[in-house]
Structure 1
Amino acid sequence: MEEKTVKHISSLFLKQFTGEISEEERKELDAWVQKNPENQAWFEQKNELNFVVDDHRNSSLVKDSEEAWVELERKMDKKSRSYRRRIIRYSSVAAAIVIVALCSILFMLKEQENVSGETPKDVHKSALISLLVDGQRDSVRLNIDKNIHIELAGVRNEANTLIYDTEKGEGNEIEYHTLYVGKGGEYKVILPDGSVVWLNSESSLRYPTRFSGKRREVELQGQGFFEVERDEQMPFEVKSGDLRVEVLGTSFDIMNYANEKQARVTLASGKLRVGNGERAMVIVPDQQVEIENRELHVRQVDVRYYTSWMGDLFLFDEEPLDRVVRKLARWYDRDFKFEDSTLVKTRFSGALPKYDDISKAFELLEMTTKVKFIIQEDVILIVRRE
């Protein structure tokens, strides 16, 4: 198929699944599909991935994405692939997200490059996960996908989750534990009160083995998503550097890495009080507090972009490239270097696969930005693409 035809028909196809296609364009697309078996096969191949877009913010979807489709078409022609039907629903998703998410799923589901039989998640099974008890020099190593017996009363390790069966109230002496998740890892902990915390790469959580007193206090470094059990008599508080997040019962994400200029608190449900010792504010679901230079700013957000790290994709919405790269660096445990410092201002919207080789993420980024990634022995160089 000629490239010019691919671009035009791809634009009509995109308009169709975003609901922007006119009646005249629909007739043109139908006529082209019925013209010959080759066209029919091409169209059915695209429809194997049945995307349903409920709402989108950018009406320039087709114009901005034609080149991505052409590039995708070239890659699809390189070798035959088997397809399976997958329905993915998006609401309020940026146009670029749709295109890059499509590319992501094509790469993840169709490319059969891993001849060793290993799953993509095998790459991250060697990540360092450890539990340190205050006052003890040695930590307990927790392996991903392996249940390690822990010689601590009331503590068990199952299915990549650390579970505390210790209870509130009088009884055993309170100890403080710190769960550390290294680069390339992620882990979950169920605290003594039943609250659940998901820890992202290069993050740690310090907490007591039993909550007592008037407050339930924990300390976070890095990023974690919290689902807090409601207890009006004993509010839950997260400390993260200068940040203080107070809650009765809710779910929210805190991102506060040492190498990030901004810290973010994003609320999924309930109500939060966020402060830094100088100022505090209360936020409601779908709001985010961003903290930079001790200044607090609140804004409306789509929570999924800030909690997607718990799933199989990283989602980005107009994110600066340097922040995208730092997230990849934490997950893949690789060092990056920008050859041209102005490239850090490049904005990226899209979806990148988590459990796949890092080269797949690079391909998708290169398809939608003006950068190129060069993998060297000890660093990944980011250069401007001509």
Structure 2
Amino acid sequence: MNAKENIWIEVIQQLNTNELPNQHLLDQLSTEERELIDALQADKMISNANVLINKINQDKAWNRIQTHLQVKTVKLIPALLKYAAILLLPVMILAGGIFYYIKNNEPVALNIAKLNPTDHNRATLVLADGSAVELSDNANKQLAKVAGTCITNKNKELLSYKQDGVASEKQVFNKLIIPRGAEYKLALADGTTVMINSASVLRFPVNINATDTRNVYLEKGEAYFQVAKNPNKPFVVHANGMDVKVLGTTFNVNTYTKTTRTTLVEGKVEAKSANNQIAILAPNQQAIFNQQTNSLTKTDVDVLPYVAWANGKIVFEEATLDEVMDQLSLWYDYDVDFQSDKIKQIHFSGEIERYSDIKVVLNIIEQTGGVKFSIKNRRIYVDQR
């Protein structure tokens, strides 16, 4: 196999170790390779596939050893045939099962599709020692007491940090990882609350009051902050080349695209770029840092479309269908395939309840947009009506 042909193997190996596959690798997969991997995931056969890959690699290594030792071919034929039969049997069974799965699971029209619901209350907490806790498995439970702070998970929707003793002077950091299709609320020990959106990662100090500045790090995704006022301890959000400094205020930070956006709801913030450009925001203003041009700009906005997600809604104002489906893909954990680039540019305006069944949302778009949807596994296909 050449390097290009090995990409699908790398993806399977990453999935087998519960890693999020590298996006650069995923972008290089063919449609057939993607369907194969989707089918393996749906049938929970990633582990089996990885075992077969390892066997195939061992087989190649064995052949190289035989060649290097210059063993006579006539003696190898019976043994190799026997080995090949043992090796290929599970491969053929697996391939046959995948072929049957794909052929009998063609995309079906939206009105007859049975869509699996999305569990929106999921998150992984990574503690300072590197251990991970799945919050959906530990509802209403005190998880730990660290640096004078109690960590409690409440109703699989709120992770609460509460100072319960003398805070350690040395800051201890935790990380909250939100998968695609989910969200989680975080209450920091200083009284600040953070709603963290789908496919996001926030790193934050357990004992946030231990230092003169309250620093948190939005490593990816989007978060909505309601910062507890403390004039003596500025609160700073570090996010993809932009630092947002406040004393007490409500604002949203979005890093999903190549521009980092801070949208101010109330109060006052200072947005500072990595190259020391500064923008002071008043309510209903937005700071935009473009990572490609290293430019920081400020503009007046209607804040509603940018913060509605934190209140259980998705609001579109003349958004393209491409932008709409990108939002739905994140929130409901479905992949999207457009059958033509033309339909990506259809525009929509409207308000959608964020917790609606995705089938309801897609039905509304079908009725108003001249498009039709079909479904296969967790993939939505978009075509013109």
- C-alpha offsets along residues 22-67 of structure 1, whole Å, 9 cap, x if unaligned? xxxxxxxxxxxxxxxxxxxxxxxxxxxxxxxxxxxxxxxxxxxxxx
Give 1:213's aligned residue.
211
* Within-5 A mapping of 1:83-162: 123-125=117-119, 127-136=121-130, 138-143=131-136, 146-153=139-146, 154-159=150-155, 160-162=157-159
Contact 1:169 1:210 in 2 (8 A): no
User: Cα RMSD (Å) of the superposition?
Assistant: 2.5
Closer, same or farther: CA 139–330 of 1 in aligned 2, 3 Å? same
In the alignment, structure 1 residue 185 sits paired with structure 2 residue 179: no
Q: Which amino acid aligns with 1:338?
A: F
Distance 2:166 2:266 in 1: 28
Contact 2:179 2:200 in 1 (8 A): yes
* Within-5 A mapping of 1:192-211: 192-211=189-208
Q: How far does residue 342 in structure 1 lie from its aligned partner after superposition?
A: 2.9
Contact 2:285 2:300 in 1 (8 A): yes
Give 2:221's aligned residue.
222
Give 2:232's aligned residue.
233
Closer, same or farther: CA 261–382 of 1 in aligned 2, 3 Å? farther
Q: TM-score, normalised on structure 1?
A: 0.63
Distance 1:349 1:317 in 2: 4
Distance 1:144 1:313 in 2: 26
Report the 3-state secondary structure (helix = DSSP H, G, I; strand = E; otherwise coil) of the residue aligned with 1:165. Answer: strand
Report the 3-state secondary structure (helix = DSSP H, G, I; strand = E; otherwise coil) of the residue aligned with 2:136. Answer: coil
Closer, same or farther: CA 149–342 of 1 in aligned 2, 3 Å? same
Report the 3-state secondary structure (helix = DSSP H, G, I; strand = E; otherwise coil) of the residue aligned with 1:310. Answer: helix
* Within-5 A mapping of 1:277-316: 277-278=274-275, 279-292=277-290, 293=292, 294-316=294-316
Give 1:352's aligned residue.
352
Closer, same or farther: CA 326–167 of 1 in aligned 2, 3 Å? farther
* Within-5 A mapping of 1:46-65: none
Distance 2:370 2:332 in 1: 22
Report the 3-state secondary structure (helix = DSSP H, G, I; strand = E; otherwise coil) of the residue aligned with 1:198. Answer: strand
Distance 2:267 2:138 in 1: 32
Distance 1:353 1:263 in 2: 25
Contact 2:121 2:182 in 1 (8 A): yes
Distance 1:340 1:273 in 2: 42
Give 2:78's aligned residue.
none
- C-alpha offsets along residues 331-355 of structure 1, whole Å, 9 cap, x if unaligned? 1111001221233332211112322
Distance 1:354 1:310 in 2: 9
Distance 1:250 1:349 in 2: 29
Contact 1:128 1:183 in 2 (8 A): no
Q: How far does residue 144 in structure 1 lie from its aligned partner after superposition?
A: 8.2
Contact 2:183 2:195 in 1 (8 A): yes
Closer, same or farther: CA 261–364 of 1 in aligned 2, 3 Å? farther
Report the 3-state secondary structure (helix = DSSP H, G, I; strand = E; otherwise coil) of the residue aligned with 1:344. Answer: helix
- C-alpha offsets along residues 315-340 of structure 1, whole Å, 9 cap, x if unaligned? 11112222221111111111001221
User: Aligned to 1:267, which of 257, 264, 269?
Assistant: 264
Closer, same or farther: CA 329–168 of 1 in aligned 2, 3 Å? farther
Distance 1:289 1:210 in 2: 29
Q: Which amino acid aligns with 2:355?
A: Y
Give 1:373's aligned residue.
373
Closer, same or farther: CA 127–191 of 1 in aligned 2, 3 Å? closer
Distance 1:299 1:349 in 2: 21
Higher alpha-carbon Rg: 2
Contact 2:118 2:333 in 1 (8 A): no
Closer, same or farther: CA 336–168 of 1 in aligned 2, 3 Å? farther
Contact 2:333 2:378 in 1 (8 A): no
| Mean Cα deviation higher: 277-286 or 312-321 | 312-321
Q: Structure 1 stretches of 5 or more lacking a match?
A: 1-112, 114-119
Q: How far does residue 168 in structure 1 lie from its aligned partner after superposition?
A: 9.6
Closer, same or farther: CA 354–345 of 1 in aligned 2, 3 Å? same
Contact 1:334 1:379 in 2 (8 A): yes
Distance 1:324 1:218 in 2: 29
Closer, same or farther: CA 223–362 of 1 in aligned 2, 3 Å? same
- Count the aligned residue pairs: 263
Divergent runs of 4+, >6 A: none
Q: Which amino acid aligns with 1:227?
A: Q
Report the 3-state secondary structure (helix = DSSP H, G, I; strand = E; otherwise coil) of the residue aligned with 1:305. Answer: helix
Q: Which amino acid aligns with 2:127?
A: V
Q: Structure 2 stretches of 5 or more lacking a match?
A: 1-110
Closer, same or farther: CA 311–346 of 1 in aligned 2, 3 Å? same
Q: TM-score, normalised on structure 2?
A: 0.63
Q: Which amino acid aligns with 1:235?
A: P
Q: How far does residue 222 in structure 1 lie from its aligned partner after superposition?
A: 0.6
User: Aligned to 1:175, which of 163, 172, 185?
Assistant: 172
Q: Percent identity?
A: 30
Q: How far does residue 151 in structure 1 lie from its aligned partner after superposition?
A: 2.9
Distance 1:373 1:232 in 2: 52
User: Aligned to 1:276, which of 243, 268, 273?
Assistant: 273
